[in-house]
Chain A
Amino acid sequence: MTPVLQTNDLKVHHKTPRGMLRAVDGVSIEVAPGETLGLVGESGCGKSTLARCIVGISRPTEGSLALGGVVQQGRRAERFDRARAVQMVFQDPSGSLNPRLSVGRIIEEPLMVHRIGSRMERRKRVEEIAGQVGLAPYHLARYPHELSGGQRQRVSIARALTLEPGLLVCDEAVSALDVSVQAQVLNLFLDLQQRLGLAYLFISHDLAVVRYIAHRIAVMYLGRIVEVGPAEAVWSRRNHPYTRALVDAIPDEMTRQDQANLLEGDVPSPVNPPSGCAFRTRCPHARARCAEDVPLLRDRGGGLLVACHFAEEIEAGHEAADRAPVALRVVSGGT
């Protein structure tokens, strides 16, 4: 099957007074039809730039990008076809909806721009899509400010679906929502995927959300993918020390132990990234080699690709470490 999205060594560089900012620095990813690829990373890692590049808001400096097998040349004439291949759902629904249009009109707008159907046909289609995302017909006459955050996000999703794209890029689409509403919207994403065969590029800083919704996970750090593979393999094998740190940093509902392996410091500037492995300045396993060789993604079996020189050693170390805390917990539980 042709992947709905394929990037090859995609780069987005910006000139700044302090030097070249490498927001996205050689990313190759693939999303199959009906599949969810989760993309995680901290702020400044380039995940939003990558998303904007995929939907065509910003342009790649180098590398290629294909949507549904069609390589994008970045010509203006491509915009209409591109809009039918991929759509985006943003983090803040109040910022991404026009406050002066009714909900019905917001959802209808893509059809109007693309000159699809008569007025009556468009109305019918809008009602149908609104129903699919769980909005009632009376919502269509309302304005965005009259809706709750969760309902507004449903409107954003409905608008993204009107042109029946094969791929939705969701950039922190549930991050601004309360937990109970977040669960409603995550369930909606799953329903829509099952019904419409949609593929998602699901971007989030929250590894627990991504693990729940994604089939595969890609972890991004300073403009590069450092680990990618099936969701459960990435979550449980954690070959890359950065993935490990992300999982360790999740406030754990199961344990109150102070976590020993917190990362030191902050993400370095993408203008002057460290030489060799970009993560080495915060990595507890860093050695001399990490400053010299840039680690490339290597196959670690089971579909897992990891960009770390010492992935084998780290995975073996985890297995030993993961056994130890179990014993600890039993002891502390007895007191």
Chain B
Amino acid sequence: MTPAPAAPLLQVNDLSIRYGKGVPLVEQLNFTVRRGETVGLVGESGCGKSLTALAVMGLLAENLRTSSGSIELEGTNLTALGQNALRGYRGNRMAMIFQEPLTALNPVMTVGAQVVEVLRAHRRMGRAEAERRAIELLEQVRIPDAAERFHDYPHRLSGGMRQRVVIAIAIACNPALLIADEPTTALDVTVQAQILQLLKSLQRDADLGLLLITHDLGVVRQVADRIVVMYAGSVVEEGAVDAVLDNPQHPYTAGLLAARPHGSFSAQGHRLADIRGAVPPPESRPGGCLFEPRCAHAQADCKAARPPRSAAGQDRSVRCYHPVGKPN
């Protein structure tokens, strides 16, 4: 069961996700998450980042399927497993945190009971032992007066506290991989900072692999080790966070960075660099480079075929015929 040290915790190979037999929503996706590493999966709405997370968890809606490729967790191909076998991995080896804690929690169960439920289902713990462990977990995610909050219903807690409960549930069975899908987007900035700090310290303590899905490049810079940038269902660029954000090579990554509000218009008089147009829907994606219709650097050859991954297998890669920025 224990993989060789070099093998990544999670390896996604050439993954495509389709709606029925239709066009792929996510195509030819490759990325890895290593033990103890945080990977930021970044992109705008509709780029397929949440679908990818659901595919890894085996939680795709019934009308969606992984049509090719593999998802390997600790050496096991999850796409080949049935729902029963998957259940042994979900919760135990991998767990997920969602954006909106109020919908992730059951409103008619106390938060304590929801943590206990996980421990009893997966770890076959007795009631008393599970309750003790649940309170420990609530303390571990720094909920003050955990023993009292144990008996509260979700609506009694603030947004930040609710998200802590969701995190406690996710880490209850010591998973190796934690997927966090926009975990702080619904929270206020000061609370976001607290939750990010918590995730980071939990990860360090347990040597977790963390796949952090977000639209916020600032969050990625602060928390992640590596970054995977998605656009229209494809990975366009990946690499170490500082390398990619300091020297983006894909025009889309560069465009995202430039579009973030910075400085003050009234003081400096600069306009934000926007990216013209909008993301194409899956059924009308171009045949060539996916970003070509919106790209300021597009040339004739960009229309012909999808650009290949440069330096495939290396840590840093980009899918672009005419990368911007400095070469590596």
Question: A residues within 8 Å of B by Cβ?
Answer: 36, 42-43, 148-151, 178-184, 186-187, 190, 205-209, 211-215, 231-232, 235, 245-246, 248-253, 256, 258-259, 262-263, 266-267
Q: Which of B1-9, B50-58, B119-127, B263-271 contacts A (4 or more CB under 8 A)?
A: B263-271
Query: Do residues A251 and B259 form an inter-chain contact, with CB atoms below 8 A?
Result: no
* Alpha-carbon distance A273/B221, docked complex (angstroms): 36
Across the interface, which residues of B come within 8 angstroms of A249, CB to CB?
A: 189-190, 192-193
Query: Do residues B266 and A180 form an inter-chain contact, with CB atoms below 8 A?
Result: no
* Alpha-carbon distance A207/B263, docked complex (angstroms): 11
* Alpha-carbon distance A146/B73, docked complex (angstroms): 40
Query: Do residues A253 and B218 form an inter-chain contact, with CB atoms below 8 A?
Result: yes
In the complex, whether B319 has a CB less than 8 A from a CB of chain A is no
| B276 → chain A closest CB, angstroms | 8
Across the interface, which residues of A come within 8 angstroms of B222, CB to CB?
A: 251-252, 256
In the complex, whether B147 has a CB less than 8 A from a CB of chain A is no
Query: Do residues B190 and A182 form an inter-chain contact, with CB atoms below 8 A?
Result: no
Question: Would A212 and B221 be within 8 Å (CB), given that A43-B188, A251-B192 are in contact?
Answer: no
Sampled A-B contacts (7; CB under 8 Å): A42-B191, A178-B44, A179-B260, A212-B263, A249-B192, A252-B218, A266-B158
Across the interface, which residues of A come within 8 angstroms of B274, CB to CB?
A: 180-181, 183-184, 187
| A182 → chain B closest CB, angstroms | 7
| B274 → chain A closest CB, angstroms | 4
Query: Do residues A180 and B275 form an inter-chain contact, with CB atoms below 8 A?
Result: yes
| Contact among A36, A208, A267 with B262 in the assembled complex (CB-CB below 8 Å) | A208
Across the interface, which residues of B come within 8 angstroms of A208, CB to CB?
A: 260-262
* Alpha-carbon distance A208/B272, docked complex (angstroms): 13
* Alpha-carbon distance A183/B262, docked complex (angstroms): 11
In the complex, whether B35 has a CB less than 8 A from a CB of chain A is no
Across the interface, which residues of B come within 8 angstroms of A245, CB to CB?
A: 190
In the complex, whether B216 has a CB less than 8 A from a CB of chain A is yes
Q: Which 10 residue pairs are nearest across A and B when measured between Cβ atoms?
A: A251-B218, A183-B259, A212-B261, A183-B274, A178-B44, A183-B272, A180-B275, A42-B188, A249-B193, A184-B274
| A231 → chain B closest CB, angstroms | 5
Across the interface, which residues of A come within 8 angstroms of B264, CB to CB?
A: 211-212, 214, 231-232, 235
* Alpha-carbon distance A249/B256, docked complex (angstroms): 21
| Contact among B190, B242, B267, B275 with A246 in the assembled complex (CB-CB below 8 Å) | B190
* Alpha-carbon distance A184/B262, docked complex (angstroms): 14
In the complex, whether B45 has a CB less than 8 A from a CB of chain A is yes
Query: Do residues A215 and B266 form an inter-chain contact, with CB atoms below 8 A?
Result: yes
| B119 → chain A closest CB, angstroms | 27
Query: Do residues A251 and B278 form an inter-chain contact, with CB atoms below 8 A?
Result: no
* Alpha-carbon distance A206/B262, docked complex (angstroms): 12
Query: Do residues A182 and B221 form an inter-chain contact, with CB atoms below 8 A?
Result: no
Across the interface, which residues of A come within 8 angstroms of B194, CB to CB?
A: 262-263
In the complex, whether B196 has a CB less than 8 A from a CB of chain A is yes
Question: Would A250 and B272 be within 8 Å (CB), given that A178-B45, A180-B259, A213-B265 are in contact?
Answer: no
Query: Do residues B273 and A183 form an inter-chain contact, with CB atoms below 8 A?
Result: yes
* Alpha-carbon distance A250/B256, docked complex (angstroms): 17
| Contact among A150, A190, A207 with B265 in the assembled complex (CB-CB below 8 Å) | A190
Across the interface, which residues of A come within 8 angstroms of B159, CB to CB?
A: 43, 266
Question: On chain B, which size bracket covers the interface?
Answer: 35 or more
A148, A178, A250: residue with the most chain B Cβ atoms closer than 10 Å = A178
| A189 → chain B closest CB, angstroms | 10
Task: Report the nearest B residue to A269, measured CB to CB.
Answer: B158
* Alpha-carbon distance A190/B158, docked complex (angstroms): 36
Query: Do residues A251 and B221 form an inter-chain contact, with CB atoms below 8 A?
Result: yes
In the complex, whether B160 has a CB less than 8 A from a CB of chain A is yes
* Alpha-carbon distance A203/B192, docked complex (angstroms): 19
* Alpha-carbon distance A52/B189, docked complex (angstroms): 23
| B74 → chain A closest CB, angstroms | 28
Question: Would A262 and B262 be within 8 Å (CB), given that A180-B44, A231-B267 are in contact?
Answer: no
| B224 → chain A closest CB, angstroms | 9
Query: Do residues A179 and B267 form an inter-chain contact, with CB atoms below 8 A?
Result: no
Query: Do residues A211 and B275 form an inter-chain contact, with CB atoms below 8 A?
Result: no
| A282 → chain B closest CB, angstroms | 8
Across the interface, which residues of A come within 8 angstroms of B256, CB to CB?
A: 179-180
Q: For residues 143 through 167 of chain B, which have their beta carbon under 8 Å from a beta carbon of chain A?
A: 158-161
Task: Report the nearest A residue to B261, measured CB to CB.
Answer: A212
* Alpha-carbon distance A208/B216, docked complex (angstroms): 13
* Alpha-carbon distance A294/B180, docked complex (angstroms): 41
Task: Report the nearest B residue to A248, measured CB to CB.
Answer: B193
In the complex, whether B293 has a CB less than 8 A from a CB of chain A is no
| Contact among A187, A231, A251, A258 with B219 in the assembled complex (CB-CB below 8 Å) | A251
* Alpha-carbon distance A232/B266, docked complex (angstroms): 9
| A18 → chain B closest CB, angstroms | 13
| Contact among B44, B190, B219 with A179 in the assembled complex (CB-CB below 8 Å) | B44
* Alpha-carbon distance A215/B158, docked complex (angstroms): 33
Across the interface, which residues of A come within 8 angstroms of B242, CB to CB?
A: 256
Query: Do residues B271 and A263 form an inter-chain contact, with CB atoms below 8 A?
Result: no
Task: Report the nearest A residue to B220, measured CB to CB.
Answer: A251
- Mask: chain B, 286-301; 1 = CB below 8 Å from A; 0 = not: 0000000000000000
| Contact among B196, B255, B266, B272 with A186 in the assembled complex (CB-CB below 8 Å) | B272
In the complex, whether B245 has a CB less than 8 A from a CB of chain A is yes
In the complex, whether B197 has a CB less than 8 A from a CB of chain A is yes
| A212 → chain B closest CB, angstroms | 4
* Alpha-carbon distance A42/B194, docked complex (angstroms): 14
